[in-house]
Structure 1
Amino acid sequence: MNDIRVLIGDDHRIVREGLKQMLGDLSNGLPSMTVRAEAQTGPEVLAAVQELGGPDGLDVVLLDIALPGRDGLDVLQALRKDWPTLPVLMLSTYPEKQYAVRCIKLGASGYLNKSADADDMVSAVRKVAAGGLYVSAATAEALAAAVGRNAGQGPEQLSHREHQVYRLLSAGHSVSEIGAQLGLASNTVSTYRARILEKTGTKNDVELALYAERHGKAAPAA
C-alpha cells in the first residue's frame, strides 16, 4: 500500500516539526505517512498544493486555521473549489465548539484540536486519507448542538466573511484595522458590521464582545 502523502500548513515551525515527528514515529504500520511539503502562510499552502498537483501528489492537507496572509478557512474554501477531492483536516488550538461546525460546513474532512493525543492525530489522518470523515467526540457534540439550535441564533448564522469580521470586532479591532487585515475597504467592513449587529441582536461593539464571550469567543485571524 502506498504511503499517505501529507502537506502541513502551519505558521509555527515547532508545530510543523512536532507533527512531522509524530506522523513518522507512529506510522510504522501500513500505510506509512510521508510529509511531502510544508507551508507557513495561506498563499504558500495553495502554491504548494498547486505545485504537487493536488490529489495527484497529496492525500491529506493538515491545515491550521490561524494562518497569516490568508486564514485557514479561506484556504479551505479555495481548496474545495480547485481540488474538491483532496481531503483537508483542520487543526486548531481553539475548542471544537468554536470552529468545528463551520469547518465541516465549508467542506473539511475533519477538525482536530492540536492538543489531541498522537494516536488520535494519526487515526484522523488515515481516516480522511481513505475518504472518510473524522469526527471526534467533541466535534460530534458541537454538531449536535448546532443542529439543535434554533435558526437565527449563534455565530453559525453568519456568512464566512461576516464571521471573519465578527471575530476581529469581538477581539477589539477597529474597522480600519479589519479592512487592512482582510483587504477590504472601510465602508465595506462597516456594512458587514451592521449586518453582524443585526443578526446577533446587539447594538454596539461592547454588546457584540459580550455576545462573543457567551458563544465561545473566537480569536482573530493571524
Structure 2
Amino acid sequence: MIRVLLADDHAVMRDCLLHILEAAQSFVVAGQSSDGESTLALVRSTNADVLVLDLTMPAGGGIGLIERIRAANPRLRVLVLSMHAEPHVMERAFKAGADGYLTKESAGTDLVLAVRKVAHGEAYAGLGHAERSPQRLERLTPQPHDALTSREREVLRHLAAGETSRRIADVLDLTPQTVSTHKKHILEKLALANDAALIRYAMRHGLDGEGDESGVD
C-alpha cells in the first residue's frame, strides 16, 4: 500500500481526492492538512510515501512551502496539485523540489497514475490532460543534492576531495563538530551510507570540484 498525505485548504477537495484514492484500493490516506503550517507539522510527524500538495493554501503555502517540506522530510515524495496550467508555474515547482505536478482539472482522471509514478521514484508533469515528454521531465526533475544548502555543498566538495573533518573545519572556519553535523545531514539528504558512496555521488554529479556551478540555493 502507498501511504499518502493530502494537503488542501478545501475540505471538499480533500474528500474528492480521498475517495479517488480509496477506490483504487492500493492507497491509504495517512493524514490530512489544510494550511502551510499544519502541512509542515504533518510531514514531520507522519510516515508516508507521497504528499499531494495544493499550491495555494493559506498560512505559508505556495512554492516556498515545497522547499520547507524538502528540508523537513527529504525522503517524502511531493506531488503538487495546482489550479495553474502554465508551464512556468510547473517549472518553478520542480525547481523548488517537487517530484510531480498535476492540475486540478485532471485530478479526477490522472491522480492515481500520478501518485503511483511519484511513489515509485518517477516524475510526473501534467498540464491539463497531457503529460510532458520524458526529455522535458529529465530536465525539470530535481536531484537529491538540490536539497543541500550552500554550506553543505562546500563541505561536500571538500569531503569528495578526501579532506579530513579537521582540515575542512580549518579551511571553512568551522569547528570539527559542525563539519561532522553537516556531513551527517549530507548523507541523510542524499540517502548515502558512507564516505565512499558520498565520493562516488559527488563525482557522478560533478560536485567534487570547480565544475560544480550549482551552489546557489
What TM-score, normalized by structure 1, do the two folds share? Answer: 0.56
- Worse overlay, 10-19 or 88-97: 88-97
Question: What pairs up with 1:36-55 in 2 under 5 angstroms?
Answer: 36-52=30-46
What is the CA RMSD across the aligned residues, in angstroms? 2.0
Q: Is the 8 A contact 2:36 2:61 kept in 1?
A: yes
> 1:139 Cα shift?
6.1
Counterpart in the other structure of 2:19? 21
Could you list the runs of 5+ residues in structure 1 that have no partner in the other structure? Answer: 148-222
Counterpart in the other structure of 1:75? 65
Counterpart in the other structure of 2:149? none
> 1:135 Cα shift?
2.2
Counterpart in the other structure of 2:132? 140
Question: What pairs up with 1:164-179 in 2 under 5 angstroms?
Answer: none
Alignment pair present for 1:131 and 2:121: yes
Q: State how far apart, in whole Å, the 1-side matches of 2:107 and 2:77 are.
A: 21
> 1:65 Cα shift?
0.5
Q: Is the 8 A contact 1:63 1:72 kept in 2?
A: no
Greater C-alpha Rg: 2
Give 3-state SS (helix, strand or coil) of 2:111's partner. Answer: helix
* Per-residue deviation, residues 25-49 of structure 1 (Å, max 9, x unmatched): 1x13xxx111111100000000011
Q: Is the 8 A contact 2:124 2:131 kept in 1?
A: no
Question: What pairs up with 1:78-117 in 2 under 5 angstroms?
Answer: 78-117=68-107
Q: How many residues align?
A: 134
Which amino acid in structure 1 is aligned with residue 61 of structure 2? D
Q: Is the 8 A contact 2:40 2:72 kept in 1?
A: no
Give 3-state SS (helix, strand or coil) of 2:29's partner. Answer: strand
Give 3-state SS (helix, strand or coil) of 2:81's partner. Answer: strand
Give 3-state SS (helix, strand or coil) of 1:69's partner. Answer: coil
> 1:118 Cα shift?
2.8
* Runs of 4+ deviating beyond 3 Å: none
Counterpart in the other structure of 2:212? none
Q: Is the 8 A contact 2:33 2:42 kept in 1?
A: yes
Q: State how far apart, in whole Å, the 2-side matches of 1:83 and 1:139 are.
A: 27
> 1:119 Cα shift?
3.6
Q: State how far apart, in whole Å, the 2-side matches of 1:139 and 1:84 are.
A: 25
Counterpart in the other structure of 1:12? 10
Give 3-state SS (helix, strand or coil) of 1:7's partner. Answer: strand
Counterpart in the other structure of 1:60? 50
Between 1 and 2, higher relative CO (CA 8 Å, sep ≥ 6) is seen in 1
